[in-house]
Amino acid sequence: MSSRKVPDTKKSLPSADAPSEKVFFVVPTLVVLWSHDQRAMAGLREGVQRRLAPLAEAGALEWIGPFSSEDEITPEGLARACETLLSLDLWRRLVERGYQPDLPRTGSPVSLQVVFLVDRMGAESEGPPLKVIQEAQKLLARRARLAPILVWLGSQPEPAPQNLNAYWPRIRMEPVAAGGFAVNPLQVLAAAEHLLVALMGSDFVRILGSIVKESSTEWIVLGASALMLHPHIEGWLREAVLGEILAPLVAPLAETEIDRIEKAIGERARQVRESLLEEASAALKESGWGVEIEHLGIRKCILQKAALLEALFGAYRGGITAEPLSRRDGKNWPRQLLSLISALAEPFFPGQTIGETLYHNYRELSERLEQWLGEKWRGLAPRAREEYQDIAVLLGSFLDRGLVAQISPEKRPSWWFTERPLPAGIPAAITALLALQKHLCEGNDLEDARGPVREPVRPAPLNDDAYLRVAGDTDAQIVRENLLRYAHFARTLASPWGVLLYLIPAWPLGTFLIQILVHWEPAPAFLVTGLALLLIGIAELAYWWLWKARSLLKTVQRNAHRALASRVMTLTARAIQDYRYWMLSRLREAECVLVDLYAAFLQRYAATKEPSRSLRKVRSQEVNGCTYLMVHKGEIQRWKREAVEALQQYPDWKGESGPFESAITARIVARVWPLPEQPLPSQAMLEELESASARVVRECAPHPHQYKAGVVAEMEVDPLKGGKRWNWLWQRAYPLGIVESPGAEFTIVMAPEEALSGPTGRESPYWQPDWRAALTLQGQEEMCIRGIVERKRGE
C-alpha cells in the first residue's frame, strides 16, 4: 500500500504508537470477489459497506464480482471498474473530506488498492486468474498504479498460483485454525470482513509492512476479531420509531367507537343536505319561486313571477295565492268581486306558448341551480364545494385535531370537544368517510311538506335541454287540462240572464198556483211570486257561481300549480342530487387515497413489529466466534424516545400547515388528504416518512464519544470490563490456517486513541507490550488481527 503522509487533518485519525506519523490516508479500493457462494459474498460486501459507510458514500470503495470462472473476469473489465476510482470528482471529494491530503502530483500516477478476495472454502472452482490485475495495470498504463492485495479464504493452494508474488500482502485464512482446530466457515467470513475493514479503513497495511518482510514471506495467515456496536441497532431503531409513530395512526376501532362516529357524521350529512337545500331555495327565489323550507322539507313553493302567473292562470289566481276577498279594502272590494266574477264567467285559457314559457322558466331555474358559466359554476356549485371543503377538513380532523381550528366556529362540531372526544387515526377517518358516504347515499334530499304528509321528492331523471322542453310541454298540458276542467264546468252554468229567461215562465205559473192554493188576489200573488223567483235565482246563482265555481277554479288552479311546483322540486332535487353525487365521488376518491395509505401504513406497521421485537430482545453478545456485538440498552432507550419525539415534532412538516398536533398527521393532511389537490401516492408518503424517520434517528444518535464499542463493553459487559476485552479480542483473533514454515507472529490492534489510553487501555494488564496499534477510521469499533508469517519454502 502506498499512502502519502501529510500533516494532520480534521478527518484523519491519530495513531497511538507513532506520534510523528499519526495520520493515514485512505486509498480508493477496488474489491474483486471470486467465489461460488453469492450469498456469502453479498453478506460480506454488505457488512463492509455498512462499516465503512463514509468511504462507500464518498465512492472510494468499489466492488466487482463475485466471479467464478476465468471468462467472467477480464483485464478490460477490471480496468473499467478502476475507472470509477480514477474520477477527479472522487479525488476532490476525498481531499475535501480529509481522506487524502491533496490531489496526486502532476505526472505521477494515482494509487489504487485492489483487493482480490478468493473464496475457495465452498465448492471447488477453478483457480483464480491472478494475472488479471497485472494485465489491467498494463491497460491503465501510467494513469494508475495498482497495489494488489490477495486475501485467500481456504486451504493453501498447491501448487501456488501463478503471479502470487505480484500481490502484497498475500493473506490466507482457512477454516482450520493454527492449532488444527476446525473453524466454522462463517467465522472465516466474519474474520475476512474484519480484515477488509482493516485493509481499507485503517493503517493496517503499513503496520503489516513494517512487521513482515515481503521477500521472505509466502503467505501471512491471519485471524481477526472485533468488538463492535450491534450493526442492526440503527435499522431496528428506525423501524421501532416508525412503528411507534404508525401505531396510533393504524390502531383499530372498537364497535362502539364506530357507532359514535357514524352517529356524529350522520348529523353532519344532514346539515350538508340542508345547506344545499338552503342554497337551492335562494336560486329558486331568484327564478321567481317563493319557497319556505323546514329542514329537508319544502313547506311552501309558490310561483311569484307575475308575468308567468298571468300567462298561465290569467288575472285571477285565488287558487294559488289564496287571498280572500277583503271587505276592509273598501274600494277594492267591489273591484275584486268584479274581477272574480269576470274570471269565473269567462274561464281563462292559456295560450299555446305556455309550454315554451315554462321551458324557459325551468331552464333558467336549472341554470341557476347548476350551470357552468364563464369558467366557474354558479348555483349550488360554490356551496357544494364549500361544504365539501368543510367536511373534508372535518374528516381530516380525525387524522389531526389541529385541523379543527380551521373550521369556522359556527360549523365546528360541539361534539368534538365533549368529555369523550371521537377517536383519531386513519381507521377513524376512513370510518367517518364511509359513514358520510353512507349517510349521503341514503335518504332523500328533498321532501314535499306542503301537504299534511311529508313525501319524498324524486329527483328529475334528467335535466338537459330536451328534458326541460318536454317537461315544459307536459306541465303546460297539465295546466291546460286543469283549466279546461273548470271551463267545462263553467260552460254548464247559466248567466243571470239565462236564469231569468228560465224563471220567467215560472212567474205566471207560481202566481196561478198561489191564487189557487192560497186564494190570494192576482196582484199580490204576482208580486210575491216575482219576488220569490228573484230571490231563488239570486241565491242559486250565488251558490253556483260564487261557491261552487269559485271553489272549482281554485282547485284546478291549485292542482295545476302544484304540478308545476312538483316539477320545480324534482329539478331542485336533481340538482342537489348531482352535487351530492359530486361530493360522493370526491369522498370516494378520498376514501381510496386513505384506504391506500392505511393499507401501506398498516403493512409497514406490521413490518416494524419484528425489528421492534428484536430491538427489545437484543443484548450484548458474542457471535460467529470472532465478533462481540455491543448493545447499550439505556442509550438505545433514550435514543428511541428522543427520535420518536423528534419525529412527532418534525419541524419540516409540522410548521407546514398550521398548528397540528403531530408532524406526521400534519404531513398527511398537507400532502395526502384533505388539503392537497394532487395527493401524494401512499408509497411516496411512506418513503418520506421512512426518510424522515431515518433522519431523526441519525440526528438523535448518541454522541460518538459516548457510544463506542469499548465504552459499552466497559459499562455493560461484565466479562469484558477492566480491559478484559483486549484479551477477548486477542483470543478470538486466533490465526486461521496451518502454517508449514512458521515465521514471526504479530498482533495488531485497531482502536480509537482514547480507547488505548488509561487503565483499560494500554495500561491494562491484558494488553501485551508487543502488540502494535494501527490508526483506524472506525471510531466505534475495536479490532484485533493476529498473524503468523509463513516463510517461503527453502528459506
Pick from 251, 506, 546, 618 the residue near other proteins by CB under 8 A: 506
Among the residue ranges 353-361, 529-537, 720-728, 754-762, the one whose residues contact other proteins (CB under 8 A)? 529-537
- Rounded Cα distance between 250 and 595, Å, is 11
Q: Is 105 in the site for other proteins (CB under 8 A)?
A: no
Supply the minimum distance, in Å, between the C-beta of residue 438 and other proteins. Answer: 59
Pick from 513, 531, 592, 684 the residue near other proteins by CB under 8 A: 513
Pick from 56, 166, 186, 493 the residue near other proteins by CB under 8 A: 493
Q: Is 371 in the site for other proteins (CB under 8 A)?
A: no
Q: Is 540 in the site for other proteins (CB under 8 A)?
A: yes
In degrees, rounded to 5, the angle at the alpha carbon of residue 177 between the alpha carbons of residues 174 and 181 is 125
Among the residue ranges 121-129, 192-200, 505-513, 746-754, the one whose residues contact other proteins (CB under 8 A)? 505-513
Supply the minimum distance, in Å, between the C-beta of residue 517 and other proteins. Answer: 8
Measured from the CB atom, is 548 or 613 closer to other proteins?
A: 548
Pick from 536, 552, 607, 618 the residue near other proteins by CB under 8 A: 536
Measured from the CB atom, is 345 or 531 closer to other proteins?
A: 345
Q: Is 501 in the site for other proteins (CB under 8 A)?
A: yes
- Rounded Cα distance between 248 and 658, Å, is 21
Measured from the CB atom, is 509 or 606 closer to other proteins?
A: 509
- Looking at residue 500, its amino acid is L
Residue 372, strand partner residues: 377
Phi-psi region of 421 (alpha: psi -120 to 50; beta: other; left: phi over 0): beta
Measured from the CB atom, is 88 or 517 closer to other proteins?
A: 517
- Rounded Cα distance between 586 and 272, Å, is 14
Q: Is 541 in the site for other proteins (CB under 8 A)?
A: yes
**DSSP-derived secondary structure for 589-654:** HHHHHHHHHHHHHHHHHHHHHHHHHHHHH---EEETTTEEEE--HHHHHHHHHHHHHHHHT-HHHH
Residue 606 CB: number of other CB atoms within 10 A?
A: 12
Pick from 75, 472, 510, 737 the residue near other proteins by CB under 8 A: 510
Measured from the CB atom, is 512 or 582 closer to other proteins?
A: 512
Supply the minimum distance, in Å, between the C-beta of residue 337 and other proteins. Answer: 18
Q: Is 518 in the site for other proteins (CB under 8 A)?
A: no
User: In the numeric block, which cell numbers belong to residue 55?
Assistant: 468511504
Measured from the CB atom, is 489 or 766 closer to other proteins?
A: 489
Measured from the CB atom, is 405 or 513 closer to other proteins?
A: 513
If residue 349 lies in a helix (H) or strand (E), which one and from where to where? none
Under 8 Å CB-to-CB from 280, ≥6 apart: which residues? 369, 379, 380, 572, 575, 576
Supply the minimum distance, in Å, between the C-beta of residue 575 and other proteins. Answer: 41
Q: Check whether the bond before 159 is cis (ω within 30° of 0).
A: yes
255 — phi, psi (to 5°)? -60, -40
Pick from 159, 374, 452, 505 the residue near other proteins by CB under 8 A: 505
- Rounded Cα distance between 738 and 747, Å, is 17
Supply the minimum distance, in Å, between the C-beta of residue 449 and other proteins. Answer: 37
Supply the minimum distance, in Å, between the C-beta of residue 460 and other proteins. Answer: 35
Among the residue ranges 79-87, 191-199, 490-498, 662-670, the one whose residues contact other proteins (CB under 8 A)? 490-498
Distance of CA 445 to the CA centre of its chain: 33
Place of cell 478490460: 76
Among the residue ranges 94-102, 202-210, 522-530, 551-559, the one whose residues contact other proteins (CB under 8 A)? 522-530
- Looking at residue 532, its amino acid is A
Place of cell 485512505: 26
Q: Is 503 in the site for other proteins (CB under 8 A)?
A: yes
Q: Is 508 in the site for other proteins (CB under 8 A)?
A: yes
Supply the minimum distance, in Å, between the C-beta of residue 523 and other proteins. Answer: 7
Nearest to 146 by CA among 130, 127, 162, 160: 130
Q: Is 547 in the site for other proteins (CB under 8 A)?
A: no
Q: Is 778 in the site for other proteins (CB under 8 A)?
A: no
Count interface residues toward other proteins (CB under 8 A).
Answer: 36
Q: Considering only residues 307-346, where is the footprint of other proteins by CB under 8 A?
A: 345
Measured from the CB atom, is 551 or 683 closer to other proteins?
A: 551
Q: Is 352 in the site for other proteins (CB under 8 A)?
A: no
Supply the minimum distance, in Å, between the C-beta of residue 531 and other proteins. Answer: 14
Residue 687 near residue 672 (C-beta atoms within 8 A)? no
Residue 432 near residue 593 (C-beta atoms within 8 A)? no
Place of cell 321528492: 457
Measured from the CB atom, is 251 or 493 closer to other proteins?
A: 493
Supply the minimum distance, in Å, between the C-beta of residue 334 and other proteins. Answer: 19
Residue 718 CB: number of other CB atoms within 10 A?
A: 9
> Cα dist. 384→388, 677, 782 in Å?
6, 16, 67
Supply the minimum distance, in Å, between the C-beta of residue 539 and other proteins. Answer: 9
Q: Is the dihedral of CA 144, 149, 152, 158 positive or negative?
A: positive
E strands in 18-97: 29-34, 61-67
Supply the minimum distance, in Å, between the C-beta of residue 373 and other proteins. Answer: 42
Q: Is the dihedral of CA 84, 88, 91, 93 positive or negative?
A: negative
User: In the numeric block, which cell numbers belong to residue 353?
Assistant: 306558448
Among the residue ranges 324-332, 367-375, 409-417, 487-495, the one whose residues contact other proteins (CB under 8 A)? 487-495
Measured from the CB atom, is 511 or 627 closer to other proteins?
A: 511
- Rounded Cα distance between 446 and 460, Å, is 12
Measured from the CB atom, is 504 or 599 closer to other proteins?
A: 504
Q: Classify 459 as helix, strand or coil.
A: coil
Q: Is 68 in the site for other proteins (CB under 8 A)?
A: no
Q: Is 522 in the site for other proteins (CB under 8 A)?
A: yes
Pick from 516, 531, 592, 599 the residue near other proteins by CB under 8 A: 516
Under 8 Å CB-to-CB from 634, ≥6 apart: which residues? none
Q: Is 499 in the site for other proteins (CB under 8 A)?
A: yes
Q: Is 581 in the site for other proteins (CB under 8 A)?
A: no
- Rounded Cα distance between 677 and 690, Å, is 23
If you ran DSSP here, which 8-state letter would residue 743 be given?
Answer: E
Supply the minimum distance, in Å, between the C-beta of residue 463 and other proteins. Answer: 35
Q: Considering only residues 3-32, where is the footprint of other proteins by CB under 8 A?
A: none
Measured from the CB atom, is 232 or 548 closer to other proteins?
A: 548
User: In the numeric block, which cell numbers belong to residue 207?
Assistant: 503496520
- Rounded Cα distance between 162 and 156, Å, is 13
- Rounded Cα distance between 751 and 771, Å, is 12
Q: Is 512 in the site for other proteins (CB under 8 A)?
A: yes
Residue 682 near residue 223 (C-beta atoms within 8 A)? no
State how beta strands 217-229 and 170-173 pair. Answer: parallel
Q: Check whether the bond before 66 is cis (ω within 30° of 0).
A: yes
Measured from the CB atom, is 501 or 744 closer to other proteins?
A: 501
Supply the minimum distance, in Å, between the C-beta of residue 339 and other proteins. Answer: 17
Q: Is 528 in the site for other proteins (CB under 8 A)?
A: no
Pick from 129, 350, 459, 537 the residue near other proteins by CB under 8 A: 537
Pick from 181, 333, 415, 502 the residue near other proteins by CB under 8 A: 502
Binding residues vs other proteins (CB under 8 A): 345, 491-495, 497-499, 501-506, 508-513, 515-517, 519, 522-523, 525-526, 533, 536-537, 540-541, 543-544
